[in-house]
Structure 1
Amino acid sequence: MAEKKAYPLRINAQVLDAVQRWADDELRSLNAQIEYVLREALRKSGRLKTPGTDDNEDTLK
């Protein structure tokens, strides 16, 4: 499992409430929802490798 680090986050109250409702809808904690949204944004922008990928593409051939 990846190391977890604590980070204090200052966030607009309305945004926090909206993310909390979203988390409730998806049966996640607020913290897990924030991490999920950040991870998806990073993955979609190509800044985070998806699990199971590796730099050596020869294994896929």
Structure 2
Amino acid sequence: MVAKKSFPLRINPEVLAAMQRWSDDELRSVNAQIEYVLRKALVDSGRVKLIQKVVTSLENSLDEGGGESK
């Protein structure tokens, strides 16, 4: 598990309301949505590399003979 650091954030009320609507649409918390947007901006600008490890229970069960694999 990656350690998280708390950080106080001052944000314009209209921006926060827009983030709330967006996070509701994406079924994320506002905090998770802000982190997602920041991370995407960092990757898109080339400031960090995206290292993605996506493993789901469904994919694991498919690989074990439970159905088609990709």
TM class, shorter-chain normalised? 0.7 to 0.9
| Amino acid in structure 1 at the alignment position of 2:40 | E
Higher relative contact order (CA 8 A, sep 6+): 1
TM-score (norm 1): 0.81
The count of corresponding residues between Structure 1 and Structure 2 is 52
Gaps of 5+ in 2: 53-70
2:22 maps to 1:22: yes
Q: Residues 1-61 of structure 1 correspond to what in structure 2 (within 5 A)?
A: 1-51=1-51
Runs of 4+ in 1 over 3 A off after TM superposition: none
Q: Which residue of 2 aligns with 1:55?
A: none
| Amino acid in structure 2 at the alignment position of 1:29 | S
Q: Distance in 1 between matches of 2:41 and 2:50?
A: 12
Gaps of 5+ in 1: 53-61
TM-score (norm 2): 0.71
**Highest CA radius of gyration, 1 or 2?**
2
| Amino acid in structure 2 at the alignment position of 1:7 | F
Could you tell me the percent identity over the aligned residues? 67
